[in-house]
Amino acid sequence: PALLWPHLENNPCDVIICELNLPEYPGIALTEQIRTIYPHLPVIILSGCGSEVLAVAALKLGAADYLIKSPETIQSLPATIAAILQQRGLQLLPPDAAVEAPLHQHPWEQRLARLNECFLQFGKDPDDNIRRLVITCAELLNATCAVYNRLEGHDLHSLAHWLPSRTVQGFGPAEGHICYDVIKSGREAPLIIHDLQHSPYAQSDPNVRKFKLETYAGMAVKWSRRPIGSLCVVFQTHTLLSKQDLRLMNIIAVAISVEEERKHANEALTESEERFRMLVNASFDGVFIHQNGIIVEVNQAFANMVGGDHDKIVNRPLIRFVA
């Protein structure tokens, strides 16, 4: 990539197409560098494998699109580029060019741009990020409602977003719910059910009749390779979901699983810190923790040794107490 920067400096371009598996430098890392130095330069990533985990990573870095290499993809690439440039107020070819570029922004590029916007709004709280993803899922699929159900024991903890703008949380028994069956099965493929009012779930799932639902599409969300929840969209009409709809939903489900992993890691770290703090406080030996010579924490035994109060010791130079 050392040759790329002077080339871009001397030869400005409108879009970059990046191979994911470069021989000397990973495409994801290169995308991150390009987006850092040229934040307004669109990057399209091409890959030979259809990993949604990599797609989430690429989109979080601001990639304009993540495409799986195939003859169809290569054939449609000019139209994809034209749509991305049109989105940014640019034009690749003259108006009378023969390429079948859309007159309006391509729905897929438009939806990816909205998903990118969601990722850019992520903060430190995984639950808040998951809430953003559920709202985005409902909007992008124009669903009556999008729901993320997390299985906790024998109950489902639900986060639902109803269009146009109502987000609600719920907690109740999992048995009988469609999403519970999706979680139990751990299936890789999405579960799609039409004509819900005449299905067994009209009796077992209270939401089906209560909200007059007709179509369901759901997929498992996994953590450490085991299903812990499900993401679903429901409609009050007979709705056919396209391959793009399901791919987009799968990307969002993977993004939720990443946030669940962060949530569990944060909880494990907090638990570890609490155990460490309890052991330190229970010790009869004086224990202190410092950073660059400034005390940041002490146990009661150390406070007793130096004859001071805990709050009056922290944030003071260590040399005052051990010299």
Which CATH number is 261's domain given?
3.30.450.40
Q: b/e for 232-267, b at 16 or more Cβ within 10 A?
A: bbbbeeebebeeebbbbbbbbbbbbbbbbebbeeee
* Average pLDDT for 93-113: 58
Of 78, 108, 138, the residue at which a domain comes to its end is: 108
> What is the total count of domains within the chain?
3
Q: Which tokens go with 245?
A: 């709809």
Q: Which residue has the higher pLDDT, 154 or 106?
A: 154
115 domain-assigned:
no
**Residues 213, 64: Cα–Cα separation, whole Å:** 34
Do residues 264 and 288 both lie within one domain? Answer: no
Is the pLDDT confidence value at 29 over 50?
Answer: yes
45 domain-assigned:
yes
* Residue (of 208, 66, 197) closest to 147 by Cα position: 208
Do residues 138 and 102 both lie within one domain? Answer: no
Do residues 43 and 133 both lie within one domain? Answer: no
Q: Which residue has the higher pLDDT, 146 or 33?
A: 146
Q: Taking the CB of residue 300, how many other CB atoms lie within 10 A of it?
A: 15
Do residues 82 and 131 both lie within one domain? Answer: no
* Average pLDDT for 52-60: 80
Q: Which domain holds residue 308?
A: 283-322
Backbone torsion region of residue 294, taken as left when φ is above 0, otherwise alpha when ψ lies between -120 and 50, otherwise beta: beta
162 domain-assigned:
yes
| Confidence (pLDDT) at 322 | 72
69 three-state secondary structure:
coil
Q: How confident is the model at residue 90 (pLDDT cuts 50, 70, 90)?
A: low
Do residues 260 and 290 both lie within one domain? Answer: no
Q: Do 31 and 41 meet the contact criterion of CB atoms below 8 Å apart? A: no
Do residues 228 and 133 both lie within one domain? Answer: yes
* Average pLDDT for 143-168: 91
Do residues 134 and 22 both lie within one domain? Answer: no
Is the pLDDT confidence value at 201 over 80?
Answer: yes
* Average pLDDT for 214-238: 94
Residue 297 phi/psi, 5-degree rounding, is: -160, 145
Cis before residue 26, ω within 30 degrees of 0? Answer: no
Q: What's the whole-model pTM score?
A: 0.67
| Confidence (pLDDT) at 30 | 84
List Cβ neighbours of 66 (8 Å cut-off, separation of 6 or more).
Answer: 44, 45, 47, 54, 55, 58, 59
| Confidence (pLDDT) at 105 | 45
Give whole-number Cα distances, 8 to 4, 37, 44, in Å.
Answer: 6, 11, 16
Measured in Å, how far apart are the chain's first and last C-alpha atoms? Answer: 52
Of 60, 83, 108, the residue at which a domain comes to its end is: 108
Is the pLDDT confidence value at 299 over 90?
Answer: no
* Average pLDDT for 89-117: 62
Q: Do 262 and 203 meet the contact criterion of CB atoms below 8 Å apart? A: no
27 domain-assigned:
yes
274 domain-assigned:
no
